[in-house]
Amino acid sequence: MKPIQLFDMESSTYTYVLFDQTSREAVIIDPVDTQVERDLATLREYGLKLVWTIETHAHADHITSAAQLTELTGARTAAPAGCGIGTAGVQLQHGDTLRFGNESLTALHTPGHTAGSMCFVWRDHVLTGDTLLINGCGRTDFQSGSPVDMYNSLTQVLFALPDDTTVWPGHDYQGRTHSSIGHEKAHNARVAGKSEAEFVAIMGALQLPKPKRIDEAVPANLTSGMRHDVDGALLLVPRPQTAYAGDVSPQLAWQWVQAGEAVMVDVRTDAEREWVGFVPGALPLAWKQWPGMAMNPGFDAQLQAAAAGKKVVLLCRSGVRSIAAAKRATELGLEAYNILEGFEGDPDANAQRGRRGGWRLQGLPWRQN
Ligand SMILES: N[C@@H](CCC(=O)N[C@@H](CS)C(=O)NCC(=O)O)C(=O)O
Ligand SMILES: [Fe+2]
């Protein structure tokens, strides 16, 4: 059994799906936000139930789809404890295991590319993230990277695995797909046969350009791919290409609604609204497109009728389902925006960031039934 290996051309990122053949439970490692549809299609094609989304580190070059996948599939999120990804439900420590059906993978703490970076061992495979790359390794010049830590992670942790362990990297920039521990130990140009001092000198001389999307990607990845504003300020982040028009802060969305420029659509279920509360005037229209489940009949028609030529601002519980709904609304030709962090927001994450997000936590109008 091998991992299913998927490639994102834009960032040269490999995403991996592993699954248990009997229960069909699956995990996804390092999913990319622009590839959600591909990944959902892969899960459907193999008949899999996603139970974990897992990060090897907080990426600097692309944005994770972990938060989107949790709302679309019901999967839980796990990330290395040392990466500061506060939204991940499970904060992994060295040696922790994650189970999926009768299978499990084991986390290895391998600092160097970032201080929290991890690799994952599954059977006789190791998914090495941006620690060990084929004939290379992750850069160590930003985001708490350290060449000394990288040298130890490569030579003491990864090269301690059996030589015939298959290596599946987080990136390859030259079209290679996998390698083995034995091969990298013998031939990796940066580390094979090199002393720590030689390795540090090689890493120090790389002079790589900064990843193009680092300023946008790192903050987004620290919240599993949700984007947020600073200090609760009005915010609009335009989305690239045709995904949807943008992410807006609750305040800006409310300003648009009050000015009659936008209609608000609440895509939570009736049960959620009854438990937690609702926004007066918002149209209740539940978004129920889970893999394998047909979409709400009438969703498209009701959404188009409600929009009546205005902008549409979409609200859900935490700001993830509303992204999927905003994408659908965009396909229908509407100007659709996702309301950041949804109705509830996350008080813990907000406290950590020193700010308050979410509709209710921002003190915007809402009522209990
Ligand atoms: N050119 C890419 C950045 C590539 C890059 O810096 N990749 C990181 C991984 S996030 C790395 O460690 N690269 C190692 C190398 O190129 O040797 C971009 O702009 O996104
Ligand atoms: Fe990276």
The whole-number pLDDT of residue 128 equals: 98
pLDDT of 230 above 70: no
Q: What is the mean pLDDT of residues 97-101?
A: 97
Of 149, 127, 153, the residue nearest 140 (C-alpha): 149
**Nearest of 69, 91, 72 to residue 80 by alpha carbon:** 91
The pLDDT of residue 321 is: 85
Query: 295 burial class (0-12, 13-18, 19+ CB within 10 angstroms)?
Result: middle
Kind of pairing, strands 262-266 and 311-315? parallel
Q: Which amino acid is at 128?
A: T
DSSP 165-185: PEEEESB-SSS---EEHHHHH
Mean pLDDT, residues 71-96: 89
Strand ranges (E), 81-159: 90-92, 97-100, 103-109, 118-122, 125-129, 132-133, 136-137
Ligand 1 binding pocket includes 211 (Cβ within 6 Å): yes
Q: What is the Cα Rg of the chain in Å?
A: 22
Dihedral sign from CA coordinates of 291, 296, 301, 302:
negative
Token code pair at residue 112? 């160097």
Residue of higher predicted confidence among 356 and 191: 191
Local structure of 14: helix, strand or coil: strand
- List, in order of start, the domains of the chain with CATH numbers: 4-204 (3.60.15.10), 226-353 (3.40.250.10)
Asked whether 56 lines ligand 1 (CB < 6 A), one says: no
Whole-angstrom distance, CA of residue 195 vs CA of residue 63: 35
Highest mean pLDDT pick, 229-233, 268-272, 333-337: 333-337
pLDDT tens-place string over residues 290-346: 544 456 678 889 999 999 999 999 999 887 789 889 988 998 899 999 998 889 876
Mean pLDDT over residues 103-115, rounded? 98
Tell whether the model's pLDDT for residue 18 goes beyond 50. yes
Cβ of 190 less than 6 Å from ligand 1: no
Distance 170 CA to ligand 2 centre (A): 8
Rounded Cα gap, residues 33 and 186, in angstroms: 35
* Residue among 171, 174, 190 to mutate when testing ligand 1 (max atoms within 8 A of CB): 171
Q: Is the CB of 208 under 6 A from ligand 1?
A: yes
Tell me the CA–centroid distance for residue 171 and ligand 2, in Å: 8
Residue from 61, 133, 174, 212 whose mutation best tests the ligand 1 pocket (most atoms within 8 A of CB)? 61
- Atom index in ligand 1 nearest the CA of residue 171 equals 9
Is the beta carbon of 212 within 6 A of some atom in ligand 1? yes
Residue among 85, 160, 74 at smallest CA distance from 115 = 85
Nearest atom in ligand 1 to 11's CA? 20
Closest CA to 111 of 124, 86, 129, 136: 129
3 state SS of 81: helix
**Which among 62, 132, 139 is the best mutation to test ligand 1's pocket, defined by most ligand atoms within 8 Å of the CB?**
139
End-to-end CA distance of the chain: 52
Ligand 1 pocket: which of 142, 154, 173, 191 to mutate (most atoms within 8 A of CB):
173
Residues 6+ positions from 352 with CB-CB distance below 8 Å: 86
Task: Report the pLDDT averaged over residues 183-192.
Answer: 98
CA atoms in the 13 A half-sphere facing the CB of 239: 25
Host H or E run for residue 218: helix 214-221
Q: Which atom of ligand 1 is nearest to the CA of 206?
A: 17
How, if at all, do strands 311-315 and 336-339 pair? parallel
- What is the C-alpha separation between 340 and 321, in angstroms, rounded? 11
Query: In the chain, what percentage of residues exceed pLDDT 70?
Result: 90
- Report which bound ligand comes closest to the CA of 214: 1
Residue type, 176: R
pLDDT at residue 137, rounded to an integer: 98
Q: In whole angstroms, give the CA distance from residue 165 to residue 152.
A: 19
With a 6 A CB cut-off, is 61 part of the ligand 1 pocket? yes
* Ligand 1: nearest atom to the Cα of 61: 20
